Structure 1
Amino acid sequence: MSRDHVISFISTSPHNGKSISDVAISPRSTYVLTYSQEDNFFVGWLLDTKSEPFDLRKDTESSKFDGISDFKVSDKKIILYNYTGLVKFHDLKNNKDLEIKNECFDYSHTNFLENGNIVTFKSNINTTINPTVLIYELTNKNEFARKGFYVFNEKNVEFGGFRSDSMWMMSYDLIFLLDLATFKLQ
């Protein structure tokens, strides 16, 4: 057996010796966020993938968060997390919660785009409203404002998942990839 590469681990204790429960990586892979269910803290890490081996430096630590079941992070250090079934937002740079007023999100259908905007897919087959994609951007007032609202001309559109700045969808047993920058099918 040959060894082309040796992988070395550097021992650190980002959560004061507590185990890391989950990890999220930002869309551009510049920021890593760890969470420990034992200490209920998020720890943010700056990631430099251009260095060999890549460099991971501790950046910030959040205030305490209980009841986190899943989370995502943007390159701008915004956390989108699932808190007892509700979608919540937190700015790690300022250690403040953020809100999108009068909106309700399905966590599994919401994610960050590479530019830091938030995208969410809404659909309810029991109504006459066609599926929609909504885009929100962070304003200078540290609030999210709706930037775009797009309605599909077909009711039979199902969410498939996000990949970078694209969204997988299914309609009539066909799979589509929607570019969320141009809103054109790929």
Structure 2
Amino acid sequence: MKNAKILSVIAVIFIIAGISAKFFMPSLFYGYIYPFSRIKGSVSITVDGKNIPLSDCKISCIHQDKKEKAHVIGSRLSTRAGKYGRYKFIIEHDGIEIPFYFYQSNSWNCEKFELSFSVDTEKRTISCTGWTRGLDEKGFKEEKLDIVRTITFDDISPEGIGISSV
């Protein structure tokens, strides 16, 4: 019983320290304490005017030629992304690929986003609209960056469509 009380007190101290770090030392919090996915947001897809749920798509995430786990819950998409570099997502549906990436300018950046992809197979284009927001170097939220892009299938770079605020 005594050990349980001691562990409870220690746990409370760590929780208070973590919450304090988030508000008073955000770069420390996001750099070393943050336990959640660092790239997360919602994605909607239409192909020739028809809404496609993410559950009907094959989704992969690649970082430095290694597969990362991409979590999909409804229209929410996320990955841990705790390292520096490019995180490329590929959404595949009926032979159509929608590649896009976020660039982690530091290992602790957190990127939130809301994206809508519209594919026109006749014109062979992918339109992307939405927003993204990351953290600045001190750990504070940046302004939302609006995303409005239309790219032909032939013009998509091997890296995909760049989304990051950096």
1 or 2, which has the higher helix percentage? 2
Q: Bigger relative contact order, structure 1 or 2, given CA contacts below 8 A and separation 6+? A: 2
TM-score, length basis structure 2: 0.35
TM-score, length basis structure 1: 0.32
